[in-house]
Structure 1
Amino acid sequence: MADDMSLSPSRDDFAALLDESLGGRDFMEGTVVKGLVVGIEKDFAIIDVGLKTEGRVLLKEFGGEDDSKATVAVGDTVEVFLERVENAMGEAVISRDKARREEAWTRLEGVYALNEPVMGSIVGRVKGGFTVDLGGASAFLPGSQVDIRPVRDVGPLMGKEQPFAILKMDRPRGNIVVSRRAILEEARAEQRTELVAQLQEGEVREGVVKNITDYGAFVDLGGIDGLLHVTDMSWKRVNHPSQ
């Protein structure tokens, strides 16, 4: 019987093992640690983060508003961000949301180092640009980096998952700057290279007028712009291309 009990570690055993693996209170604070869910009370999950210290996390941080929708259960091991080992109430100050942000930052730093794009969604407007959710971390998208050309209505882009290039990361300040324009320019450059290789003199192609000047119109042929001079617009005299 004693042997069977030894195979199931108690909460004290869990706390001792966690304390031993993390090396003490000072090391734990300000980091993401593993905790044991020891209870579910109304809107909170009670989590033992070791050192016989418990904290409370709102169930909605795990994806549920109450215990019937929660994605955690008693006995689960979860990762949380430990802000303080003990507050005035004698409880640990912990957060699952902050743990997700820390995980996201670590992931994004790896992407940034490899100069790779990251998937995200434009979720809101702020002064000078927009807020982008990068799967747990928030980034700033300057208005000038939304598109190659000025965009009057950003509505269709809101909430749509799409690739972004990370221009800058500052973890101590919590700042991430991204660009959608850089992704579009890269794709456009690839299209331009392919199009130039395909173009042949004398062929007929459809294009979209992108800009009109006094001496002609610039037409997008699908990745590269061509100039349609005013003298080539019609057999008759054209005073201005806008006609």
Structure 2
Amino acid sequence: MAEEMQNELEAKTYNIGDVVEGKVAKVEDKRALIDFGSKIDGILPIGEISNVHIEKVSDALSEGDEVTVKIIKEDDEDVILSKRGVDNERALDDLEKKLESGDVFEVEVADVVKGGLVADVGMRAFIPASLVERHYVEDFSDYKGRTLRVKVVELDREKNKVILSQKAVLEAEADQEKQQRLESLEVGQVLEGTVQRLTSFGAFVDIGGVDGLVHISELSWTRVEEPSEVVKEGDQVKVKVLKVDTDAEKVSLSLKATEESPFEKAAKEIKVNDVVKGTVRRLVSFGAFVEIQPGVEGLVHISEIANRHIGTPGEVLEEGQEVEAKVLDVKPEEQRISLSIRQLLEDEENANVEEYKQDDQGMGITLGDMIGDQLKKLKK
């Protein structure tokens, strides 16, 4: 019998390893019979039909379907065929090209297995769990039957191994969107954003696919020790673009720049020659900084601290001391207010002198009158 079958194969010039075209003649539970031009129908076992698991042959084939198969074995009575082997070779050729070109293509998830997903791309391809999404996925049970856009990231012909990644596609698209977003940003823009995370040096804010940094010095006009004093993760905030570096993909933002500065507010309320109260915050060699409103400090130059010569501000003032001063100049654009304690003291002295003069005139008594009265008494 084997000899007759071999003669028939030789008559048709079929050999082990030949790839032939055939038609499904019959579908059984675990195999299909294939008419490929020989007097004997070839047997296509269920395990040689697909690269992914199927429960029965009818899940993949129907009578009359045309198939391309490879002759892989012969025994005493049968010729064994493989559709999977042909699909594998064709798929490997195609996938190698896709790997080289970086092409993105669609696959349907055939099965969910331990560690990831399986897709039939003409051969069995594996998508590891870590390469499915950009975020962590705990349960993949609802991924079966989904269509994913993937790239080939690894291929080994010898091991018949193909690794696909949807994550690589999503990250490439996200990078492209990020670059486009960066290029659309302009210094001075005011945007809405969401606080993503806090660090010791500031807060990162998502402004539409791009995370920008609000440095701790740009969170508030007042001194901030920790970013959490001003914002928390998830907060919706308004920020101003200070700097954009598209090459380094860095964006500098400011929260305080969207608000009226304390100096701008102070300029509306404080005028030259006003007398203000404040607290000495810092002593420096050239003077003292006095906080006259939250976030607003004025400088009392050393020459304006006292109505006498002093060597250092510390001779007269100390940090934390409450003082009054006269406003000499207000420049909000330079965030500078000049103050004088000396002029206020002089104004008070002058006012006292004027008050004394007025009192003196009101009594109608002069120094001459007082001396004349004394002389008259002496003569008597």
Distance 1:70 1:161 in 2: 19
Query: 1:170-199 CA deviation, whole Å, 9 max, x = no partner?
Result: 122111122333222321222122212211
SS at match of 2:227: coil
Given candidates 158, 161, 182, the residue that maps to 1:196 is 182
Partner of 1:107: 94
SS at match of 1:200: coil
Given candidates 211, 222, 225, the residue that maps to 2:208 is 222
Given candidates 214, 232, 239, the residue that maps to 2:218 is 232
Query: 1:66-120 CA deviation, whole Å, 9 max, x = no partner?
Result: 87x885335x542224321x135x2122233444444433332332232212323
Structure 1 segment 43-82 matched on structure 2, within 5 A: 44-57=31-44, 72-73=62-63, 77-82=66-71
Rate the CA distance shift 1:212–1:77 in 2: closer, same or farther, 3 A.
same
Partner of 1:83: 72
Would you say the 8 A contact 1:139–1:178 is kept in 2? yes
Rate the CA distance shift 1:165–1:242 in 2: closer, same or farther, 3 A.
farther
Distance 1:94 1:121 in 2: 26
Structure 1 segment 93-104 matched on structure 2, within 5 A: 93-104=80-91
Distance 1:152 1:37 in 2: 41
Distance 1:184 1:38 in 2: 44
Partner of 1:25: 15
Query: 1:115-172 CA deviation, whole Å, 9 max, x = no partner?
Result: 212323454344xx42341533333334554444x51535488233222221221122
Rate the CA distance shift 1:113–1:83 in 2: closer, same or farther, 3 A.
same
Would you say the 8 A contact 1:140–1:177 is kept in 2? yes
Larger of the two Rg values belongs to structure: 2
Is structure 2 residue 136 aligned with structure 1 residue 151? yes
Would you say the 8 A contact 1:64–1:71 is kept in 2? no
SS at match of 1:26: coil
Rate the CA distance shift 1:212–1:120 in 2: closer, same or farther, 3 A.
farther
5+ long unaligned stretches in structure 2:
1-7, 230-380
Structure 1 segment 31-42 matched on structure 2, within 5 A: 32-40=19-27
SS at match of 1:25: coil
SS at match of 2:190: coil
Greater relative contact order (Cα < 8 A, sep 6+):
1
Aligned-pair identity (%): 27
Instruction: Count matched residues.
Output: 216
Is structure 2 residue 112 aligned with structure 1 residue 124? yes
5+ long unaligned stretches in structure 1:
1-14
TM-score (norm 1): 0.67
**CA drift at 1:227:** 0.6
Partner of 1:139: 125
Q: Relative to structure 2, which stretch is displaced further, 198-207 or 161-170?
A: 198-207
Rate the CA distance shift 1:197–1:119 in 2: closer, same or farther, 3 A.
same
Rate the CA distance shift 1:176–1:77 in 2: closer, same or farther, 3 A.
closer
Would you say the 8 A contact 1:231–1:238 is kept in 2? yes
Would you say the 8 A contact 2:203–2:213 is kept in 1? yes
**CA drift at 1:216:** 1.9
**CA drift at 1:226:** 0.5
SS at match of 2:191: coil
Q: Relative to structure 2, which stretch is displaced further, 56-65 or 182-191?
A: 56-65
Partner of 2:320: none
For 1:80, the aligned partner's letter is V
Distance 2:93 2:40 in 1: 27
Partner of 1:4: none
Distance 1:156 1:205 in 2: 39
Instruction: Provide the aligned C-alpha RMSD in A.
Output: 3.8
**CA drift at 1:54:** 2.5
SS at match of 1:164: strand
